[in-house]
Amino acid sequence: MNFSVLLNNVMAEAFEKAGYDRTYGKVSVSNRPDLCEYQCNGAMAAAKAYHKAPIQIAEDVVRNLEGNAVFETAEAVKPGFINMNISTAFLQSYCNEMAVKDHFGMEFPEKKTIIVDYGGPNVAKPLHIGHLRSAIIGESIKRILKYMGHETIGDTHLGDWGLQIGLIIEELKERKPELPYFDPSFTGAYPEEAPFTISELEAIYPAASAKSKVDADFAERAHDNTLKLQGGDPACRAIWQHIINVSVNDLKKNYENLNVSFELWKAESDAQPYIPDMIQSFKDQGIAYVSDGALVVDVAEDTDKTEIPPCLVVKSDGASLYATTDLATIIWRMNDYHPDQMIYLADKRQDLHYTQFFRVARKAHMVEEDTRLNFIGFGTMNGKDGKPFKTRAGGVMRLEALISDINDAVYEKMKERYDESELDEKTVKQVGLAAIKYGDLSNQATKDYNFDIDRFASFEGNTGPYILYTIVRIKSILRRTEITDAFAPTFNADASGNACLKALMKNLCGFADMVENAAEELAPHKICSYIYQLSDAFNGFYHDTQILKEEDTEKKNLYLSVLVLTKSVLETCIDLLGFEAPERM
């Protein structure tokens, strides 16, 4: 059982035995650690219901706590608080269970099928930092939910169906007019080989986009190409397929470098076949109507604090929109996977879009009543100066460039600590990834944050490298012992005199509660603050206690057991965040 459940149970029982309702017996971590470790304020609330002085209730409850195995001390203090300290022996027995049980003894909730939509890159453009947060946060949320026993499916939801494709086609035509795609009399099969490499493709899009802003005819032709693509024109479809192939190959490499992977590589275009019937059904259900030539669905609700305008589902020229595609995507997702929940990640400025199409999906009964739809809108990643992140030249930062910058910074920091001959590229990359991911995930997703390479790459403070350093430190201590993988942790020696050890065990025992909470709130930052505290607690213990020199075998065994458990909890947590620790650093 989760640690908090055990504490609550003991307290609830004491309330019950004393003649009060057990629901008052809730235990929380003390907000006055100088006075006690845990507290219960239930007597204050019960006082009203039982018309008694709270201190009297608190005293009744404390009397009934006598002899319990969880709290070493319990004290009623005026006006009616109950202050407790936890028993070290109880922490040890809980750690014992954690060490041997699968998932550290965590209880699983009911198993759900959950789709996480967290890619969103556009096939025409290289991955840039705009897609970084989605990938990092989405991957972590997916891993957390999977750890909780759910069936999770990550989908890239590639942007492959908009004007960007029409623009590329037009630019390609100007650059290589001799290609068969542009010969109207061509009747053969189009070439298998793509008419561009990834670097050519990366140059084509920005050039086309710039041209379309100054050349109205070019923009018009690009728009026509887009319509032709959507209408099924074979030449446009063939080029589009090449764009996807070349681009997806490159995207996969980039995501792999980030330790991010998707179960599905679906795209906006996969939703297109469902659109006509969907629109018809909106009309048949009487929820869509024509307004200014466009088809819209009302989604405002009485309780709205701000105005939620109708959701546009078909443009006046008949084209589909962002919402149309997202709605039609729900159809195949429901058909093929029947998810209990769908979680979307995107920049928080897209909030209205999600509110609108979620409401249409419900109104049109495209999901079950209890299907959960969540939007996680994340804030902007700014530069160190608090302004939107740019390259030194002022352009959009490519993800690859960002990763290489952080690896350079990590390398410099590591050079201060280690001999250069010890630094291999793999370790630098692992530390670099931890720096980026932890730097991002340690912030609440909705908040903007400043990407500060120096701070993120530091080995001190609330950073990824600090966490890795702690894990590596444990690994290196363990290497100096004779213990093997077969080592069975035991927490039996008397540990009551060691305050740092007690603090560390208390942290360890909070693991299941923490993960459960992070999953419920879809909040990876809770894992970061947990492992930061856990690392601090470990380092406190390490500096305070002679581990390897301990002569009492039982005690030494206890210390090593704590090391092994701390290491595996930390490793599990960073895996949930999407990075891993090197063997040495």
Residue numbers of the site for ligand ARG (CB under 6 A)?
Answer: 117, 120, 122, 157, 159, 326, 344, 346
Residue of 150, 160, 6 whose CA lies nearest to 84: 6
Listed residue (362, 344, 347) closest to 299, CA to CA: 362
- 261 or 291: whose CB is closer to ligand ARG? 261
Judged by beta carbon, residue 37 or residue 117, the one nearer ligand ARG is 117
Residue 375 to residue 200: CA distance in whole angstroms: 35
Q: Which residues pair with 526 in a beta bridge?
A: none
Question: What is the smallest separation between the CB atom of 324 and ligand ARG, expressed in angstroms?
Answer: 11
| Crossing angle between the packed helical segments 132-147 and 553-577, to the nearest 10 degrees | 130
Cis bond before residue 79 (omega within 30° of 0): yes
Count of residues making up the chain: 585
CB nearer to ligand ARG: pick between 5 and 308: 308
3-state SS of 237-278? HHHHHHHHHHHHHHHHHHHHHCCCCCCECCEHHHHHHHHHHH
Nearer to ligand ARG, 130 or 464 (CB): 130
Residues 500-537 as b/e (b if ≥16 CB within 10 A, e otherwise) read bbbbbbbbbbbbbbbbbbbbeebbbbbbbebbbbbbbb
Cβ atoms 291, 322 nearer than 8 A = no
Q: C-beta of 346: minimal distance to ligand ARG in Å?
A: 4
158 SS3 class: strand
* Helices 553-577/499-509 angle, 10° precision: 40
Q: Which is nearer to ligand ARG, 346 or 531 (CB)?
A: 346
- Nearest distance from C-beta of residue 370 to ligand ARG, angstroms: 21
Q: At a CB cut-off of 8 Å and minimum separation 6, what does 388 contact?
A: 380, 382
> Residue 359 or residue 506: which is nearer to ligand ARG going by CB?
359
On whether the CB atoms of residues 161 and 230 are closer than 8 A, the answer is yes
Nearer to ligand ARG, 229 or 346 (CB): 346
Burial class of residue 474, CB neighbours in 10 A (0-12, 13-18, 19+):
buried
Residue number of the CB atom closest to ligand ARG:
120
Instruction: State in angstroms the smallest separation of the CB of 118 from ligand ARG.
Output: 8
Nearest distance in Å: CB 191, ligand ARG:
29
Least CB distance to ligand ARG at residue 158 (A): 8
Closest contact distance (angstroms) between CB of 120 and ligand ARG is 3
How far apart are CB 91 and ligand ARG at their closest, in Å? 44
Task: Tell me how far CA of residue 92 lies from CA of 6, 474, 542, 555, in angstroms.
Answer: 14, 20, 18, 12
CA 425 to chain centre: 27
Q: CB 80 → ligand ARG: shortest distance, Å?
A: 51
Rank residues 215 and 351 by Cβ distance to ligand ARG and give the closer one. Answer: 351
Give the residue with the Cβ less far from ligand ARG, 191 or 273: 273
Nearer of residues 36 and 267 to ligand ARG, judged by Cβ: 267
Work out how close the CB of 247 gets to ligand ARG at its nearest, in angstroms, rounded to a whole number: 13
Sheet of strand 71-77, all strands in order from the earlier edge strand to the far edge: 28-29, 38-40, 81-86, 71-77
Laid out side by side, the sheet with 151-155 consists of 151-155, 113-117, 341-347, 372-378
